[in-house]
Amino acid sequence: MITETVNCLPTVEIETRPCPTHTIVWLHGLGADGNDFVPIANELELLLPETSIRFVFPHAPERAVSMNNGYIMRAWYDIYHADFNNRQDESGIRDSQKAIDVLIEREIQRGIPSKHILLAGFSQGGAMALQAGLRQTNPLAGIIALSCYLPLPETLTTETSAANASTQIFMAHGIYDVVIPLAHAVASREKLLTANYPLEWHEYPMAHSVCEQEIVDISRWLGRISGCHI
């Protein structure tokens, strides 16, 4: 099912049972769309009989991406350089953060407590999960950040939300990733740990992708995090 409301990104939605009690908002990577991670709804082994989950897979806006010769594609923000530490698209990042905030607020208005909402993403989507999740004023159940890095790290200390200061983070990366080298993710991990975020870290023998063991580990993590009851 594809839904779209005023001032809200278009999304693909899947509900595992009627009357959802939890929501997972899953953000795709550069050049993909919300359909990219739809299979994850069936791959995660996390459902208890009494639990109903709404998976929300939004489509990022279409925009020109400088690093790809200005080609227009779905992207949460522009990318100027392969070196992600060199000039970031702050305005694009913040615009997408606001759009994600709207999705979270919509879920709250639909009756899902914020502590039952998880924000997840892969690659550029994972970067946005960290950006939006750590600044979200409503307490979330957790953040899943896959094959990504922390955008705008220099503003984290001043902009972080007290509501999510103890929000659980699952962060994972492939050791053979050449799109976002492991070193970028490790530096982001250290920044988050220094800020005292509870973070579970995993590395896998893969490139810029998702592997079967990663899905198993995410399922286990989701089963453990406080307040999710999955």
Which residues does the annotation mark as catalytic?
Answer: 123, 177, 208
Spatial CA neighbour of 20 closest among 51, 56, 58 = 51
3-state DSSP helix/strand/coil % of the chain, to nearest 5: 35, 20, 45
**Distance of alpha carbon 117 from alpha carbon 179, whole angstroms:** 29
DSSP string, 156-191: HHHH--GGGTT--EEEEEETT-SSS-HHHHHHHHHH
Please give the structure tokens belonging to residue 42: 């069936």
Q: Which residue has the tokens 């989507």?
A: 125
